[in-house]
Amino acid sequence: MRLAKRHAGEAELVYLPLGGVGEIGMNLSLYGFGPKAHRKWLMVDLGITFASEFDEPGVDVILPDIEFIEKDKRNLVGIVITHAHEDHFGGLIDLWPRLGAPLYMTPFAAGLLEAKLESEAGAPEIPIRRYTAGDRLNLEPFDVEAISVAHSIPESVALAIRTALGTVVHTGDWKIDPTPVVGWTTDLDRLTAIGSEGVRALICDSTNVVRDGISPSERDVAQSLTRIISEAPARVAVTTFASNIARVRSVAEAAHAAGRNVIVMGRAMRRAIDVASELGMFDGLPDFLDEDAFSYLPRNKVVALMTGSQGEQRAALAKVALGDHRTIKLAKDDIVIFSSRTIPGNEKSVGAVVNGLAKQGARIISDRDALVHVSGHPRRGELIQMYRAVQPQVAVPVHGEALHLSVHASFARELGVPVVIEAVNGNVVRLAPGEPGIIEEVAVGRLFRDGKLVVRPDKSGVKERRKAGFAGVAVVSIILDEKGDQAVETDVVTIGIPEVDNRGVTFDDIAVDAVDNCLKSMPRARRRDHDAVADSVTRAVKAAIGERWGKKPIVEVLIAEV
């Protein structure tokens, strides 16, 4: 990659993503101002992404590696969270204590974080400074203005970040929706006014750039849900993201119109509803009921609102699909509405839930069947409106994988943006002064939250777990006397390895024979070197099992001397 030229000691305005650029999720953006040796930093968002059972077995979530800014945290003037989706604020509990910088959140985001902190034993105390759309945050050398945008969660904002070297508009996640049911609309008038002042750079969401037109409104989804629920002959279950308060309100309004009660299932759903209720987002609606009401309400009076739209094993919907839920059972003529989209990678788990529900006789409705979900991200028609409003000199596509970023970059050029920079995580992008471009690269990476630990991948043991899941483990126990002879017979325990080979010989016996033959072939003096014995036995057992099975397991050798 060709790096742009720079002048030593010159004050610069730079953009540095540590997550969320070249991927969807784990968003963390840094804006820097000043000469390289004395730069002040502003952080926007601190999110997570979710682990794959295959690639990261046992890992709970994945966080961005913040080593770069942690080393310079004395110059971090603040952390501004644009909205309360996990991929934008989910890393705070684990990583904020390492930074300790002033934290700014809208009331809904702050309420969700506080609720999460209360529910986690040993959670840190995190002081929160609340702001709202229209506020200006003086975080020298940055003047940050919050601008309301529509999204699939309440109180989302874009940020106008003003500096002595120019203004950057950071869109966060957004769409244009004049009727969002709950929450703010996108303030195009304010964005246009800021654009008329002059905007150096637009850092913009790329998620739906491959789709033409304009996204349907959340109100359109509400009308569709109202029709489906009013026509349902029996129970209705709706699964959606707990944070999508507009969707939850739409379900509640539809249930109320049909003379039904809404039953809430799942801790995440209840937590989000409680926070939204405190902020008045469900005013005018009947109270939500707890899941115990399912057992006594008539079937045609039930709308069950539950978590599990992504097939999560511990979520309410998965338990219902398996017939394992303690209070909820579905039957023929019941309807389950998937008011969500399946996140790539979750197709198998969602499919298992759908099939389980279908076996119970439930009718499944997804966005393939009716308008029961709409994205919170802009299509091309909405991007055109954003670019016309802001009129940036520089565009940097973010919040997308390689395809999204590439398509967005080409689209921005078609719209006449003078300079388009295709960056990825770790690129330091100079926005001003002079010629914009990538001027250096910094190390980026991931951290794994694994139980109670936050560890680097190479220290996590996940690589070994993955290999063990593929080819199993053989544990060999050898006891030698002081002369190097075996004092007792070899003991082998295999885990995750077939019981017998295609000749009917057990793999335990195959491993024992390999160990015994290996030891016999070693001179007695060499058998006194336990490291040499362990190395030779490991290779012998792997080879013997590999020859009969076609896979080489992890082999652990334990040696004791008597």
pLDDT score, position 160: 98
* Sign of the torsion angle spanned by Cα atoms 51, 54, 59, 64: negative
Range with the largest mean pLDDT of 241-245, 346-350, 525-529: 241-245
Section 125-141 average pLDDT: 98
For residue 2, name the pLDDT band (cuts at 50, 70, 90): low
pLDDT score, position 381: 98
pLDDT score, position 44: 98
pLDDT score, position 374: 96
Q: What is the pLDDT of residues 157-188, one digit of tens each?
A: 999 999 999 999 999 999 999 999 999 999 99
Determine how β-strand 437-441 pairs with β-strand 427-432: antiparallel
Share of the chain above pLDDT 70, in %: 99
- Asked if 338 and 365 count as a contact pair (C-beta separation under 8 A), the reply is yes
pLDDT score, position 204: 98
What number of other Cβ atoms are within 10 A of residue 169's Cβ?
Answer: 24
Structure tokens at 376: 């919170």
pLDDT score, position 297: 95
Let me know the angle formed at the C-alpha of 427 by 426 and 430, rounded to the nearest 5 degrees.
140
* Sign of the torsion angle spanned by Cα atoms 188, 194, 197, 203: negative
Structure tokens at 333: 């003529």
- Asked if 46 and 96 count as a contact pair (C-beta separation under 8 A), the reply is yes
pLDDT score, position 136: 98
- Angstrom distance (rounded) from CA 158 to CA 155: 10
For residue 51, name the pLDDT band (cuts at 50, 70, 90): confident
Mean pLDDT over the full length of the chain: 94
Which CATH code fits 12-213+375-452? 3.60.15.10
- Angstrom distance (rounded) from CA 446 to CA 466: 17
Q: Is the entire prediction scored with pTM above 0.75?
A: yes
pLDDT score, position 500: 93
Q: What is the pLDDT of residues 424-439, one digit of tens each?
A: 999 999 999 999 999 9
More confident residue, 561 or 383: 383
CATH 3.40.50.300 fits 462-561, yes or no: no
Domain extent listing, the chain: 12-213+375-452, 218-365, 462-561
pLDDT score, position 1: 58
pLDDT at 7 over 70: no
For residue 323, name the pLDDT band (cuts at 50, 70, 90): confident
**String of DSSP letters for 412-467:** HHHTT-SEE----TTEEEEEESSS-EEEEE----EEEEETTEEE-GGGSSHHHHHH
**Which residues have CB under 8 Å from 409's CB, separation 6+?**
395, 397, 420, 422
pLDDT score, position 468: 85
Q: What is the pLDDT of residues 52-68, one digit of tens each?
A: 777 787 888 999 999 99
CATH 3.40.50.10710 fits 218-365, yes or no: yes
- Angstrom distance (rounded) from CA 132 to CA 374: 25
* Sign of the torsion angle spanned by Cα atoms 484, 490, 494, 498: positive
Structure tokens at 166: 């120019």
Share of the chain above pLDDT 90, in %: 82
